[in-house]
Structure 1
């Protein structure tokens, strides 16, 4: 049963025979329309979800306080020191 030879396949190359191609031909257009519909719906859901989840405006109303040059230099120094310690491990 599962290993029976199909009359619609060439036993040497396993390609479809001309009879199989003729049998499938009337359904090709409808199958492609169905494929396009399924891809369109799933792609639409994916894009909608992607755009909905990437609206990251949670902190847009929170003002960012200005930082002076001394604080920035200190933070950079601490970061470089932390980076060196992490890389040396």
Structure 2
């Protein structure tokens, strides 16, 4: 049977019996320390990867050419027209 009765669980509530709690007690601190170590390693890898991937200075040395006022106005008008067209659709 799939849900056979275990002598370490209460058959009505499926909670651990005092015997099971006593049997697990010596391992609690070691298990907690292992969990902490796993979380630290996982978190460290995540933070290292996140910081490494966010170093995006590929185009920092490329100079940006200056733009004159007429060109800027033209680009603004194109942008506004594009926004209005997007709202209509």
Mean alpha-carbon deviation: is it higher for 21-30 or for 78-87?
78-87
Using the alignment, how far apart are the partners of 2:76 and 2:11 within structure 1?
70
Q: Gapped runs of 5+ residues in structure 2?
A: none
Alpha-carbon distance, 1:41 to partner: 0.9
Runs of 4+ residues over 6 Å off in structure 1 = none
Q: Gapped runs of 5+ residues in structure 1?
A: none
- Matched with 1:84 is 84
- Matched with 2:11 is 11
Using the alignment, how far apart are the partners of 1:86 and 1:20 within structure 2?
65
> TM-score, with normalisation over the residues of structure 2?
0.89
Number of aligned residues: 89
**What is the alpha-carbon root mean square deviation over aligned residues?**
1.3
> TM-score, with normalisation over the residues of structure 1?
0.89
